Amino acid sequence: MRFRYLGNSGFKISEIIFGNWLTHASQVENDVATASVHAALDAGITTFDTADAYANTKAEKVLGDALRGQRRQSLEIFTKVYWPTGPRGHNDTGLSRKHIMESIDGSLSRLGTDYVDLYQAHRFDNETPLEETMQAFADVVRAGKALYIGVSEWNAQQLRAGHALAKELGFQLISNQPQYSMLWRVIESEVIPASRELGISQIVWSPVAQGVLTGKYKPGAEPPAGSRATDEKGGAGAIEKFLTDDVLTAVQRLQPIADEAGLTLAQLAVAWVLQNPGVAGAIVGASRPEQVASNAKAAGVTLDPEVLARIDEVILPVAETDPSLTVSPATRVA
């Protein structure tokens, strides 16, 4: 496993991060989830990402239980706040001071820890003054409940405004967590340049495009039984934008490139996002422990410029690059 600095800080994370969106307390049983976390630890992964909204707070509890007994100082635990939780009352969502201060305490309790290493705004809150949000985060840091602050899916303008306020309030905004893969490149033209200027790293989610870049979905064929595309709990909606024949045909053309590199398609996809100098880590999920071990093998892989050029030749014509697609809800969803 390789380790990278997160943003303009002295804080290091494993470049492969284990995430439990759509899996823990949802798609897989708790014993399988625990086995997957232990497989991540065995592979050298020390960084774990979750959110209070995953499985309506249950995913945090599963992760906390799975990490119980591990040396806390040897782990980096991330969680997030924004989306509705609990009974979805009028203050159970967003980035108000009330929701942030109550949510961090709930997350710490479920995770079984006194602090999280990174506390992230899961989206930008268009209904709360940014000053209120950033002051609340500053107070969370000063209380020792979070060491660093990050965001998720903020656009370049929002990152600049948030970074300026964080600096004024005396804490560091060090990361952004966007969707990023060979097929979803909307952060490349605006978010990554702004982030590099500000000293903000990307912690990217869905580097294998919800499983599409594993090659298991074939053009003109029904999705495999039990795959994310058939999951009615949320996976199907997240993946459908990639399930076109043009995209799936292009993905199949990546197979010879992966073979020549000695990688699986999934490993090639994860290694690809890690080549971007703005990316500090790639979040991988798993419904089985063996998937974790396989994805972790992308750590430390360097793809030659010729390989990167071949990938672009195949995939760029079907990739999404529109920066306007980095969006947060206009109003809170309760």
Q: How far apart are the first and last CA of the chain?
A: 40
pLDDT band at 10 (very low <50, low <70, confident <90, very high): very high
CA-to-CA separations, 7 to 80, 81, 141, in angstroms, rounded: 17, 20, 17
Q: Is residue 333 part of a domain?
A: no
User: Which one from 5, 54, 115, 217 is the annotated catalytic residue?
Assistant: 54
Q: Tell me which residue of 119, 176, 134, 136 sits closest to 152, measured CA to CA.
A: 176
Asked if residue 233 has pLDDT above 70, the reply is no
Going by C-beta distance under 8 Å and a sequence separation of 6 or more, which residues neighbour residue 66? 33, 34, 37, 38
pLDDT band at 28 (very low <50, low <70, confident <90, very high): low
Span 75-101, pLDDT tens digits: 999 999 999 998 989 999 999 999 999
Q: Tell me which residue of 148, 146, 151, 144 sits closest to 130, measured CA to CA.
A: 151
Q: Is residue 332 part of a domain?
A: no
pLDDT band at 26 (very low <50, low <70, confident <90, very high): low
Burial of 172 (0-12, 13-18, 19+ CB in 10 A): buried
pLDDT band at 29 (very low <50, low <70, confident <90, very high): confident
Tokens standing for 270?
A: 């994860």
Whole-number Å distance between alpha carbons of 165 and 153: 18
Q: How many domains does the chain have?
A: 1
* CB-CB contact of 155 with 200 (8 Å): no
Q: Is residue 331 part of a domain?
A: no
Range of the domain at 42: 3-325
Q: Is residue 330 part of a domain?
A: no
More confident residue, 302 or 233: 302
CA-to-CA separations, 242 to 103, 236, 264, 265, in angstroms, rounded: 33, 11, 19, 16
Tokens standing for 153?
A: 């899916």
In this predicted structure, what is the pLDDT of residue 285?
A: 87
| Residue 115 falls in the annotated catalytic set | no
CA-to-CA separations, 317 to 11, 80, 146, 248, 311, in angstroms, rounded: 37, 34, 41, 12, 11
Tokens standing for 179?
A: 């969707």
Collapsed DSSP state (helix, strand, coil) of residue 86: coil
Once rounded to an integer, what is the mean pLDDT over residues 147-157?
98
pLDDT band at 22 (very low <50, low <70, confident <90, very high): low
Tokens standing for 21?
A: 């969106």
Q: What is the CATH number of the domain that holds 61?
A: 3.20.20.100
Asked if residue 218 has pLDDT above 80, the reply is yes
Backbone angles phi, psi at 61, to 5 degrees: -65, -40
Whole-number Å distance between alpha carbons of 74 and 69: 11
